[in-house]
Amino acid sequence: MEKAGQRYSRQREEILKIVRATKTHPTADWVYEQSRHKIPSISLGTVYRNLNLLADEGIIRRLVFEDGKVRFDGNVDEHHHFVSTKTGKIYDIDKKYSQELIDKLYQDTGFKATVCKIEFFGEVDSEEA
């Protein structure tokens, strides 16, 4: 899991722990604020560097939603998202919808996709206002 030439750092460990512990699909800034609880001296640059490094290695996922902000996700299994139009909260949706869709697209159009990303938008009944 550790790449050659890479060293342990408390900062990276903490950042990874934070991203894995939440389902909120956080931005770099949110991770920065959280990490400061444990490591007050940590810098925003370090958070960005490590999030990108972890994402490049496939240890976490990098996502972009309609607001244009980059978000990170500790869940690297392929899956989709449901965005609440009321609160902006993002829920994980099972990956099972992909394959049939990809097959159908290929039959219809000849476009051969290897992956697909689905985002649903709607209201979630169980949410508070």
Partner DNA sequence: CTAAATGCAAACTCTTTGCGGTGAC
Partner DNA sequence: GTCACCGCAAAGAGTTTGCATTTAG
Strand 70-73 relative to strand 80-84, pairing? unpaired
Our finding on whether 104 is near its own copies (CB under 8 A) is: yes
Site for its own copies in 107-126 (CB under 8 A): 108-125
Among 44, 53, 59, 105, binds its own copies (CB under 8 A): 105
27 to 15, 31, 65, 72: CA distances (angstroms) = 12, 6, 11, 6
122 makes contact, choosing from its own copies, DNA, none, with CB < 5 to 8 Å by partner type, with its own copies
Among 17, 20, 49, 80, binds DNA (CB under 7 A): 49
d(CA 62, CA 44): 17
Torsion region of 82: left, alpha or beta (phi above 0 gives left; psi -120 to 50 gives alpha): beta
Q: Which residue number, 41 or 126, has a Cβ lying nearer to its own copies?
A: 126
Which residues contact its own copies by CB under 8 A? 64-70, 82, 85, 91, 93-94, 97, 101-102, 104-105, 108-125
